A and B are shown apart, each in its own frame.
Chain A
Amino acid sequence: EAGVAQSPRYKIIEKRQSVAFWCNPISGHATLYWYQQILGQGPKLLIQFQNNGVVDDSQLPKDRFSAERLKGVDSTLKIQPAKLEDSAVYLCASSLGRGGSGELFFGEGSRLTVL
């Protein structure tokens, strides 16, 4: 079974530039999450999708971050314009959602460096 796929693995940009990350969850997983992991910290939830609808985006900095999951499968997270403090690993995770065991499956992450 293929895992959660993310790209790109690494991205270096200058502040005020834009960047986009892509995630393809495990086939059949209805719930998709984006987490931000700053160096030395645990992952922090940015947004949760159930199919193509947003369940929770309360911690997403909406002035600069946006995310979509138009067809209820893959998802894109965008940052525009980027700030220095956005340097982090962006982790995508998926789960079966309702009726599942509650286990989240994580991708390898996309590491962003903002200069």
Chain B
Amino acid sequence: AQSVTQPDIHITVSEGASLELRCNYSYGATPYLFWYVQSPGQGLQLLLKYFSGDTLVQGIKGFEAEFKRSQSSFNLRKPSVHWSDAAEYFCAVAFSGSARQLTFGSGTQLTVLP
């Protein structure tokens, strides 16, 4: 069955530290891959996406993600976290033939310590 897994429910980092949020998917082919961020009381905002080509993609707010086909992963990274990055992060995939429907992971809550 097609699925998306975010193994970390909650991550805490200090401001200025690096960040990596994990995302794995289960699917027989390469899906379209997305990372969204959701601040409290807000809708979801797209950080970045991967369709094809260069496996390292750059997004907004200094985020990047790397697609690794061999590991079925699409991990989100940021070299230096800012306090304003505290939010919930969702990995999402669109499987082929799904008419752009997104299947979301369960999310990772990021806390940033001063």
Binary CB contact string for chain A from 71 to 115 against chain B (1 if under 8 A, 0 otherwise): 000000000000000000001010101001111111111000000
Cα–Cα distance between A4 and B45 once the two chains are bound (Å): 12
B51 within 8 A of A: yes
**Are A45 and B101 CB-contacts (below 8 A) given A102-B49, A102-B94?**
yes
Interface size (A, Cβ < 8 Å)? 28
B102 within 8 A of A: yes
Q: Is the Cβ of A102 less than 8 Å from the Cβ of B107?
A: no
Q: Is the Cβ of A103 less than 8 Å from the Cβ of B104?
A: no
A62 within 8 A of B: no
Interface size (B, Cβ < 8 Å)? 24
Cα–Cα distance between A56 and B90 once the two chains are bound (Å): 22
Q: Is the Cβ of B100 less than 8 Å from the Cβ of A108?
A: no
Q: Is the Cβ of A102 less than 8 Å from the Cβ of B100?
A: yes
Q: State the total of A-B contacts with C-beta under 8 angstroms.
A: 58
Contacts of A105 on B, CB cut-off 8 Å?
46
A67 to chain B, nearest CB (A): 15
A59 closest partner in B (C-beta)? B101
Contacts of A4 on B, CB cut-off 8 Å?
43
Cα–Cα distance between A33 and B100 once the two chains are bound (Å): 10
Q: Is the Cβ of A95 less than 8 Å from the Cβ of B100?
A: yes
A103 closest partner in B (C-beta)? B46
B41 within 8 A of A: yes
Q: Is the Cβ of A42 less than 8 Å from the Cβ of B105?
A: yes
Cα–Cα distance between A104 and B100 once the two chains are bound (Å): 9
B42 within 8 A of A: yes
Q: Is the Cβ of B102 less than 8 Å from the Cβ of A104?
A: yes
B44 within 8 A of A: yes
A72 to chain B, nearest CB (A): 16
Cα–Cα distance between A18 and B20 once the two chains are bound (Å): 43
Q: Is the Cβ of A43 less than 8 Å from the Cβ of B101?
A: no
Q: List 26 A-B contacts (CB under 8 A).
A: A4-B43, A33-B101, A42-B4, A42-B92, A42-B104, A42-B105, A42-B106, A43-B104, A45-B101, A45-B102, A45-B103, A48-B99, A48-B101, A55-B99, A56-B101, A100-B100, A102-B32, A102-B100, A103-B34, A103-B46, A104-B44, A104-B46, A106-B43, A107-B43, A108-B41, A108-B42
